[in-house]
Amino acid sequence: MPRNSSYIVQVGEEGRFRLDILNNVFGPQSQRFLRRAGLKEGMRVLDVGCGTGNMSLTIAEFVGNAGSVTGIDISEEQLVVARTKAKEKNIININFQQLSAEDILSFGEKYDFIYCRFVLMHLASPQKVLRNLYLSLNSGGILATEEPTMSSCFSVPSSVAFKRSVEILMDCANKLNLNFDVGDKLFEIYRAIGCADSDIHIELAQQVVTQNPEKRLMEFLVVEAAPKYIANGVSTQEEIEHIAKEMKALTDQPGSYIGSCRQTQVWTSLPRAKL
């Protein structure tokens, strides 16, 4: 079974809770983004790196039974959870298939709308993948991506432990040759795959998170990514336990809040073929 060995967090049931919390934080802004980008009822949609399917399910409900959603992910464990969720919600216009985003052209399918969120950050060649996604659009189809600038996360009040959690995350990404600030590169990447500046729509979104458990998202990330941090020599078990304890105390503090990572939201469309 293929894996992305650079993926730093858990997959399947072990990762489900954190991705659900992530979706509580980012889901509403993602839905607004999808509507602005032009998602419509009846569209045939591809959700790339769909994870446990949270956005795929939302999109499937939005496009209705006249449309459909295919969710792909490199991890079969993620897809098992996604299929269970679809079944529980009785959503039938959806299917999930194991495929690496790197191999999308081998799929040989075309879509009206292609979406990905928090995925290019995990890829060694985001530009190559984005180009292939662009080539997988139907005439007039829309490509919409939202990716983070992880270094932009912050806490109020300021916390040494919180800042350190961001620092080791970025250090680990560097060691793995990944860019967890890829949101800042999206405009450049869309230009590099051949989109004209005037066709690239770009916006920013950043949430203020005031409620638990959502405030604890970065703490959950530190704990889940601990084995990768240790394996890559960017932290120790002892430090991670200390950071996690301090972050829990921070988020328990009444009046504290978290500035989530800034998301760069970009969409473009493939020009309509001339008859």
Ligand X SMILES: C[S@@+](CC[C@H](N)C(=O)[O-])C[C@H]1O[C@@H](n2cnc3c(N)ncnc32)[C@H](O)[C@@H]1O
The residue with its CB nearest to ligand X is 51
Report the C-alpha gap between 197 and 187 in whole angstroms.
Answer: 8
Give the H/E segment covering residue 140: strand 137-149
Least distance CB 264 / ligand X (angstroms): 14
By CB under 6 A, residue 104 contacts ligand X = no
The CA-CA-CA angle for residues 11, 132, 30, to 5°, reads 55
Tell me, by CB under 6 A, how many residues bind ligand X: 22
Quick check: 132 binds ligand X (CB under 6 A)? Answer: no
The amino acid present at 212, given as its one-letter code, is N
Amino acid present at 186: L
Residue nearer to ligand X on the CB measure, 74 or 234? 74
| Residue 112: Cβ-neighbour burial (10 angstroms; 0-12, 13-18, 19+) | buried
Contact status: 54 vs ligand X (CB under 6 A): yes
Q: Considering beta carbons, is residue 4 or 159 the nearer one to ligand X? A: 4
Q: Which residues of 250-266 are buried (b: 16+ CB within 10 A; e: fewer)?
A: bbeeeebbbebbbbbbb
- 73 lies in the binding site for ligand X (CB under 6 A): yes
x/- map, 147-176, ligand X, by CB under 6 A? ------------------------------
Neighbours of 52 (CB within 10 A): 31
Strand partners, 200: none
Q: Which of 251, 252, 225 is nearest to 239 (CA)?
A: 225
214 binds ligand X (CB under 6 A): no
Which residue among 16, 44, 85, 122 contacts ligand X (CB under 6 A)? 122
Convert residues 34-53 into a mask of x (bound to ligand X by CB under 6 A) and - (unbound): ---------------xxx--
11 binds ligand X (CB under 6 A): yes
* 4 binding ligand X? (CB under 6 A): yes
CB of 160 to ligand X, least distance (A): 26
Q: Output Rg (C-alpha) for the chain, integer angstroms.
A: 18
Q: Does 19 bind ligand X (CB under 6 A)?
A: yes
Chain residues in the site for ligand X (CB under 6 A): 4, 7, 11, 19, 23, 49-51, 54-55, 73-75, 78, 100-102, 117-119, 122-123
